[in-house]
């Protein structure tokens, strides 16, 4: 992947008015991936929807990084269960 396809971490943080330390902590919790090239830190554009959701939770609800880790894993688990429910409903339609 070329650096032109990546988003620089510092300008992203300035635009979203969050500290670089927040994104570094999210990276340490494996919630996002930060790509280090030379001395610069970058974010893959594919991470943006997840990252923006995490930032909104942090800013609007004042959730700390540890809480974001718990909330995000619960949201992922809930989505997986919703997919399973839909699959089971489709199977039940066969027997109706």
Q: How confident is the model at residue 38 (pLDDT cuts 50, 70, 90)?
A: confident
Cα-Cα-Cα-Cα dihedral sign, residues 57, 60, 61, 62: positive
Distance from C-alpha of 86 to C-alpha of 18, rounded to nearest angstrom:
37
Which element (helix H / strand E) includes 54?
helix 48-61
Q: How confident is the model at residue 2 (pLDDT cuts 50, 70, 90)?
A: low
pLDDT tens figures, 48-92? 999 999 999 999 999 999 999 999 999 999 999 999 999 999 999
Q: Average pLDDT, whole number, for the chain?
A: 92
pLDDT at residue 1 above 60?
A: no
pTM: 0.79
pLDDT at residue 96 above 90?
A: no
Percent of all residues in the chain with a pLDDT value above 90, rounded to a whole number:
88
Domain residue limits, the chain: 3-95
CATH tag, 3-95? 1.10.1660.10
Radius of gyration, CA atoms only, the chain: 17
């Amino acid at each position: 992947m070329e650096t032109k396809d990546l988003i620089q971490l510092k300008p992203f943080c300035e635009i979203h008015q969050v500290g670089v330390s927040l994104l570094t902590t999210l990276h340490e919790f494996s919630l996002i991936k930060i790509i280090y090239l030379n001395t610069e830190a970058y974010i893959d554009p594919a991470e943006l929807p997840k990252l923006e959701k995490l930032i909104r939770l942090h800013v609007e609800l004042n959730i700390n990084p540890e809480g974001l880790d718990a909330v995000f894993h619960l949201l992922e688990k809930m989505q997986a269960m919703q997919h399973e429910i839909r699959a089971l409903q489709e199977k039940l339609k066969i027997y109706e």
